[in-house]
Copies of this chain bind each other. A is one copy, B any other.
Amino acid sequence: MTFKPKFNIPGNLLAGDTTDIYFARTVEILAKENRNPVAVMEVFATRPGILCGLSEAVELLQAILPAGEGEIWALEDGDQISAKEVVMRIKAPYLSFGLYETVYLGMLASGTGWATAARECAEAAGDIPVTSFGARHIHPLVAGRMDYAAMVGGCEGCSSIEGARLSGINPSGTIPHALILVMGDTLKATLAFDKYMPSQIPRVALVDTFKDEVEESLRVAEAMGQRLDSVRLDTPLERGRVTADLVKEVRANLDMAGHRHVKIFVSGGLTPERIRYFAENNAPVDGYGTGSYISGARPIDFTADLHEIEGKPVAKRGRIPGLAQNPRLKKVR
């Protein structure tokens, strides 16, 4: 992605409210002791993955480092990283950034976890686009960050408004079951959508709410004609989930009725394994919508270690003193 997001770090983060208390105490103690050495902090992940959260971490550091002080070297969001590879190095007086260790590590941990999971889905899907629909499965404070990370990892669309804004795209969405239930009929809901929505928004009919998916697909295709972009299959687990055979059956019925232009979009509990199942069974899927596989991805833990104090190599037990070699790092401040 060449688009550069702007995260607008909120005030409570800049104020250190979300940090671990012991960093607040450390800064207080060192200040009282008049100790403020130039320190080099190196940050690495404990598992390999697709880096994300780095832009946000740098935005934070740019905001809190004193003008004219401090240097940062870093990789970029979207880079494939190895376990223990240094992804960011900060060199600055310790008191100017020591309070924020909890904050930038957390940005990297969550972001990299989501982006890595998105990459797995995208690789399983191959050429078929994957859209992130997981906003509902994660706390709304981070729903936008999650969708941004999903795009970094390889999705081609996302459903949350904030996530789309961070990614420089328009949000994607079909018709929720709620609209159909309120309207009382799939076709009525689809026609209402078609009536009021701007023409550039694709018409995607959700066809599993009340009746058989094949029956509904044919009804909306008949009524909408060329205006129908696709049907979305989201058969719930209680009804056996979407199967490869169901996709084939819908495809065959649409084709027999002359609706070859109508695409089929699949969602519901998708994982990389389930996506591969559709591919291996030659199901004619035109798009996947993933939910909690990406949004619920386990964060990838990051660690920040001091490796130099006033120019002298240091390290705690278990780590190697001095700066690590990583020619991929670029100076960003």
Least CB distance, A212 to chain B, in whole angstroms? 4
> Are A317 and B37 neighbours in the complex by a CB distance under 8 Å?
no
Provide the bound-state CA to CA distance between A174 and B33, in Å.
Answer: 18
Residue A128 lies at the interface, judged by CB distance under 8 Å to chain B: no
Q: Which of B142, B175, B243, B317 contacts A210 (CB 8 A)?
A: B317
Q: Which one of A98, A299, A305 has the greatest number of beta carbons of chain B within 10 Å? A: A299
Known contacts A135-B18, A176-B26; A249 and B181 CB within 8 A of each other: no
| Number of identical protomers | 6
Known contacts A109-B138, A238-B246; A174 and B314 CB within 8 A of each other: no
Provide the bound-state CA to CA distance between A102 and B196, in Å.
Answer: 22
Residue A4 lies at the interface, judged by CB distance under 8 Å to chain B: no
Give the residue name and chain of the B residue nearest to A26 (CB): B179
Q: Which of B164, B180, B314, B320 contacts A249 (CB 8 A)?
A: B320
Interface 1/0s, chain A 57-92, versus B by CB < 8 A? Answer: 000000000000000000000000000000000000
Chain B residues with Cβ under 8 A from A107's Cβ? 139-140
Least CB distance, A203 to chain B, in whole angstroms? 12
Residue A224 lies at the interface, judged by CB distance under 8 Å to chain B: no
Residue A322 lies at the interface, judged by CB distance under 8 Å to chain B: yes
> Are A212 and B209 neighbours in the complex by a CB distance under 8 Å?
no
> Are A182 and B35 neighbours in the complex by a CB distance under 8 Å?
yes
> Are A32 and B196 neighbours in the complex by a CB distance under 8 Å?
yes
